[in-house]
Amino acid sequence: MTAHVGQAQTLKFRAQSLLAYVLEPVQPIADWFDALDAWLARSPTFFIARPVILDMAALDIALKEYRDLLSGLARRHIRVMGAENVGRGLVGPHLPPVVSGGRPVEAPTLREDAPTEHEDAATPRAEGSSPAAQTLAEKASSLVVEGNVRSGQSIVHPEGDVTIVGRVASGAEIVAGGTVHVYGALQGRVIAGISGSRSARIFCTEARAELLCIGGAYVTAENTNSEMEGRSVEARLEGDELKLRILS
């Protein structure tokens, strides 16, 4: 008699760290949604296909209000993968799982004495990261893109600085954990310092941007001084305001 022994099945599972964006809704929720809509009007693809966590520390709401909040986010194509600091009554089937233990990601800073903490509507955190993974995530890295960034394209590099050697077209988007350099006409949107670095800056050789944003503070084409159009410009945080300076 011949015995047939099947191949043993191997169960594979592993831990993995990832970058999640944390939204911190506040009361009144209607006003918070208005602020979110204003942001999405200028950067409509920012949260698409990206993991989002809700920090509910500032809200004390009933289950129905919580479901309405989640529905409002879903209508804006924001998918919530988890929630932290939630009340016991907001836990159950068909609700985001409760997460904890995430650490704010610190981007590489330009000055050793630069502050690293800030309050922002969308603060990235590394969820479930081991000490080794956290060490790797905090290492500075730079991304260099040689060529134009076309309308509809999105360059996302949360680990460090981004340098574009070319033009950023209207409708294009650059998102960086650190500083952004654009050696060409900047007509699209740039969001720098998303990993918490208040020392992040934005430099461009020809300013015509739809949106410049660092640390939650932003300026748009509508409220930018016309004298800066087409000039070489630096954007940086001073307190809670985004300040622009003509370089040449």
Q: At what angle do helices 29-42 and 63-75 cross, to 10 degrees?
A: 10
- Our count of domains for the chain comes to 2
- Same-domain status, 147 and 221: yes
Does 156 map to a domain?
Answer: yes
Does 133 map to a domain?
Answer: no
Tell me the CATH number at 185.
2.160.20.70
Sign of the torsion formed by the C-alpha atoms of 237, 238, 240 and 242? negative
User: Where does the pLDDT of residue 110 fall: very low under 50, low under 70, confident under 90, or very high at 90 and above?
Assistant: very low
Q: Which of 187, 181, 172 is nearest to 146 (CA)?
A: 181
Structural domain span for residue 231: 140-246
- Same-domain status, 146 and 239: yes
Helix (H) or strand (E) holding 175: strand 173-176
How, if at all, do strands 233-238 and 241-246 pair?
antiparallel
Task: Report whether 192 contacts 179 (CB < 8 A).
Answer: yes
Task: Report whether 190 contacts 168 (CB < 8 A).
Answer: yes
pLDDT tens string 128-144 = 433 333 333 344 588 99
Tell me the CATH number at 38.
3.30.70.260
Does 135 map to a domain?
Answer: no
Record the pTM: 0.60
- Same-domain status, 82 and 146: no
Spatial separation of the C-alpha atoms in residues 242 and 248, rounded to whole Å: 19
The pLDDT of residue 198 is 85
Where is pLDDT greater, at 28 or 93?
Answer: 28
Phi, psi angles (nearest 5°) of residue 8 = -65, 135
- Same-domain status, 148 and 239: yes
Does 76 map to a domain?
Answer: yes
Lowest average pLDDT, out of 56-70, 99-113, 176-190, 206-220, goes to: 99-113
Spatial separation of the C-alpha atoms in residues 187 and 197, rounded to whole Å: 24
The pLDDT of residue 4 is 60
Does 196 map to a domain?
Answer: yes
